[in-house]
Chains A and B, each alone.
Chain A
């Protein structure tokens, strides 16, 4: 496998996983909870590293996943207690956890092979060289396995709970009345977000994760109405952003993860302006036509 191929493959798998869970986040107006999770898993990762002394262990994923769920739990408790607004409860929880993570990492930086830059921007450019060796034979880059398995997990869980997730996204009241548990589905989705974020973390960094969670689903939201189509469009635009972003980073000789975020932003601007149904230009034309049909007296 050539290096470029590996980078693009990892990028596309991360983008697809993020687009799948991100679509539900955007539909449920919880986009910023995804942002919060992507920051607050940091102490989980740090503790995982400290306990296991290795980067590839399950301990790290479990630690980060636990922190993600803890974030959701704390935000929810604060909100429910009526002592803080919803947005403020997100805004006080994730920086606190992130601060703990930063302190852990800088206190024990010498003991663990993990630096902050890598966590924030990722090192997708190095993914081709980090190989997995099973029983003496190399079976490919680790990031490919990690992100591939995550994508598989996302596909399986969303496939199994598709009807329930659809229901809870559009009508949580009906969902509860029909006997499904919105709270359990909520935590299931958030656990999935946490796992996705963690898997994406080291390869592409925290910023790209947020961009990939939020931007492609929004592009899809501007283009289509049906949930299945929205999921597919989000995955597609995520992958396009990966290719375009890689090209951009090559031309500018800059950060690949940053380039992908910029490319996703570009796609969003295109959809924002040109979407046939909800775009700025289309609605402007519609308004002009309406005015022409009923001229002012």
Chain B
């Protein structure tokens, strides 16, 4: 890769666009306007064409002004259709998006056949051509970035309120309509600027993908804006460098690909929300449940007459729940290590500690059955399955409370004794 003037321009431009897009995308995402930004990108095209036809000028300011007007017109058209007909939001967005774009295409093909329209460069608005960015574009983009950041910092509280609790904003007497119009105008502005860099289709991803990724890492709006802007800027710079290094890889798609990879990574690995964490959590809970069931089964075997702490053979235990021997031994291994269980060959028995732990589980089960039977007045044959789940979920505090509320019952609805701590 050569460190040329163009490469530098594209790098700076893509990073700036990523930053602003990421910041504003958060508001679009939270206000459920994700696909409105897609429609805005499409709706801007006829504006570009009309601006060119009216003025004959190709300067970015003129074309962008036209795009801006058309974008805002498109946003109002969508609102108008939703408010004044039985058409739902998704269909309204689809209509405006495709019809405005159709108008744009007709005008574009017409312009290209005009003598003055030859090589008008208007079609860079379709796919985006970051490589054609000049110093003028960078200057414009920097101004827009500053404007957006300034507005977001200045109206942070107001924008936050509008995004999360519209009604509360109205009740406080805030000019909510004006604020929403302001946010949407900023969105249109960034969409329009971004169009010539990444193109119509990918513009929506420049806004949404960093915001969606940032959402996974934090629950606070301020942090989300920072993270999202950061992800946008990183995707912009990495994407533009990749496109400069690898031959025949266009900039826009490269940027979107980088941010999409970051999104996948965030969806998987973000602490607490990430899918991998959730899966690990599930596994841990599942294993705990299996161990508690094993303790309980041994306890119940003792209760049936052979005495607590007697040896029980593996085949008998396997019969209780239809589990495999190796699965049971896996659960047993951890319990043996915690000295709740002793193992000898294919026999298992509870230690004194183990009996106490198992009694806790059985107590939860039987108290919950009593609770269901007395408070919800469920028949005895409806209790067991629910209690089978709740015995693993109830905390010790809740169980003590349950015990107190029920007046320390001696026996459960089936007549079995409810074990107590002291015993």
Contact among B88, B90, B106 with A258 in the assembled complex (CB-CB below 8 Å): B106
A90-B34, A211-B99 in contact; A248/B106 too (CB < 8 A)? yes
Convert A93-113 into 0s and 1s, putting 1 for each residue whose CB lies closer than 8 angstroms to a CB of B: 001101110110011010000
> Which residue of chain A lies nearest to B29 when distances are taken between CB atoms in the complex?
A88
The reply to whether B250 and A87 contact each other, CB–CB distance below 8 Å, is: no
A215-B99, A261-B105, A280-B84 in contact; A103/B249 too (CB < 8 A)? yes
A91-B34, A109-B248, A265-B99 in contact; A84/B205 too (CB < 8 A)? no
Q: How far is the CA of A259 from the CA of B99 in the complex (A)?
A: 9
The reply to whether B86 and A221 contact each other, CB–CB distance below 8 Å, is: yes
Whether, in the assembled complex, B263 has its beta carbon less than 8 Å from a beta carbon of chain A, the answer is: yes
The reply to whether A83 and B81 contact each other, CB–CB distance below 8 Å, is: no
Whether, in the assembled complex, A32 has its beta carbon less than 8 Å from a beta carbon of chain B, the answer is: yes
What are 12 A-B interface contacts by the 8 Å CB criterion?
A31-B91, A78-B267, A85-B29, A91-B212, A96-B263, A121-B105, A215-B94, A248-B106, A255-B105, A258-B109, A265-B98, A265-B103
Contact partners of A83 in chain B: CB under 8 A: 215-216, 267, 273, 275
The reply to whether A95 and B201 contact each other, CB–CB distance below 8 Å, is: yes
Q: A187 CB to closest chain B CB, in angstroms?
A: 19
Whether, in the assembled complex, B371 has its beta carbon less than 8 Å from a beta carbon of chain A, the answer is: no
Contact partners of A221 in chain B: CB under 8 A: 86-87, 91
Size of the A side of the interface (Cβ < 8 Å), in residues, is 60
Contact partners of A35 in chain B: CB under 8 A: 38, 94, 97-98
Q: B97 CB to closest chain A CB, in angstroms?
A: 7
Contact partners of B201 in chain A: CB under 8 A: 39, 95, 98
Whether, in the assembled complex, B375 has its beta carbon less than 8 Å from a beta carbon of chain A, the answer is: no
Contact partners of B204 in chain A: CB under 8 A: 91, 95
The reply to whether B105 and A103 contact each other, CB–CB distance below 8 Å, is: no
A92-B263, A249-B106, A253-B113 in contact; A102/B253 too (CB < 8 A)? yes
The reply to whether A85 and B34 contact each other, CB–CB distance below 8 Å, is: yes
The reply to whether A98 and B202 contact each other, CB–CB distance below 8 Å, is: yes
* Residues on A facing B (Cβ under 8 Å): 26, 29-32, 34-35, 39, 78, 81, 83-85, 87-88, 90-92, 95-96, 98-100, 102-103, 106-107, 109, 116, 120-121, 207-208, 210-211, 213-215, 217-218, 221-222, 248-249, 252-255, 257-262, 264-265, 268, 272, 278, 280
Q: A184 CB to closest chain B CB, in angstroms?
A: 23
**In the complex, which of the residues A35, A78, A85, A253 has the most CB atoms of chain B within 10 Å of its own CB atom?**
A35
Contact among A109, A215, A272 with B98 in the assembled complex (CB-CB below 8 Å): A215
Whether, in the assembled complex, B168 has its beta carbon less than 8 Å from a beta carbon of chain A, the answer is: no
Contact partners of B110 in chain A: CB under 8 A: 252-254
The reply to whether B105 and A258 contact each other, CB–CB distance below 8 Å, is: yes
Q: How far is the CA of A268 from the CA of B100 in the complex (A)?
A: 13
Convert B255-269 into 0s and 1s, putting 1 for each residue whose CB lies closer than 8 angstroms to a CB of A: 011001001000100
Q: A1 CB to closest chain B CB, in angstroms?
A: 25
Contact partners of A210 in chain B: CB under 8 A: 94, 97-98
Contact among B95, B108, B109, B205 with A268 in the assembled complex (CB-CB below 8 Å): B95
> Which residue of chain A lies nearest to B98 when distances are taken between CB atoms in the complex?
A211
Contact partners of B102 in chain A: CB under 8 A: 207-208, 211, 257-262, 264-265
Contact partners of A214 in chain B: CB under 8 A: 91, 94-95, 98
Contact partners of B202 in chain A: CB under 8 A: 95, 98-99
Contact among A81, A213, A254 with B109 in the assembled complex (CB-CB below 8 Å): A254
Q: A31 CB to closest chain B CB, in angstroms?
A: 4
The reply to whether B86 and A278 contact each other, CB–CB distance below 8 Å, is: yes
A109-B248, A214-B95, A215-B98 in contact; A95/B209 too (CB < 8 A)? yes
Whether, in the assembled complex, B101 has its beta carbon less than 8 Å from a beta carbon of chain A, the answer is: yes
Q: How far is the CA of A68 from the CA of B88 in the complex (A)?
A: 23
Q: How far is the CA of A39 from the CA of B42 in the complex (A)?
A: 13
The reply to whether B91 and A26 contact each other, CB–CB distance below 8 Å, is: yes
The reply to whether A252 and B106 contact each other, CB–CB distance below 8 Å, is: yes
Contact partners of B318 in chain A: CB under 8 A: none
Whether, in the assembled complex, B85 has its beta carbon less than 8 Å from a beta carbon of chain A, the answer is: yes
A91-B204, A222-B87 in contact; A99/B257 too (CB < 8 A)? yes
Contact partners of A96 in chain B: CB under 8 A: 205, 209, 256-257, 260, 263
Whether, in the assembled complex, B32 has its beta carbon less than 8 Å from a beta carbon of chain A, the answer is: yes
The reply to whether A99 and B252 contact each other, CB–CB distance below 8 Å, is: yes
The reply to whether B205 and A92 contact each other, CB–CB distance below 8 Å, is: yes
The reply to whether B90 and A30 contact each other, CB–CB distance below 8 Å, is: yes
Contact partners of B208 in chain A: CB under 8 A: 88, 91-92, 95
> Which residue of chain B lies nearest to A88 when distances are taken between CB atoms in the complex?
B34
Contact partners of A262 in chain B: CB under 8 A: 99, 102-103, 106
The reply to whether A31 and B94 contact each other, CB–CB distance below 8 Å, is: yes
Contact partners of A217 in chain B: CB under 8 A: 91
Contact among A31, A91, A215 with B38 in the assembled complex (CB-CB below 8 Å): A91
The reply to whether B34 and A207 contact each other, CB–CB distance below 8 Å, is: no
> Which residue of chain A lies nearest to B246 when distances are taken between CB atoms in the complex?
A107
The reply to whether A92 and B209 contact each other, CB–CB distance below 8 Å, is: yes
Contact among A32, A98, A106 with B248 in the assembled complex (CB-CB below 8 Å): A106
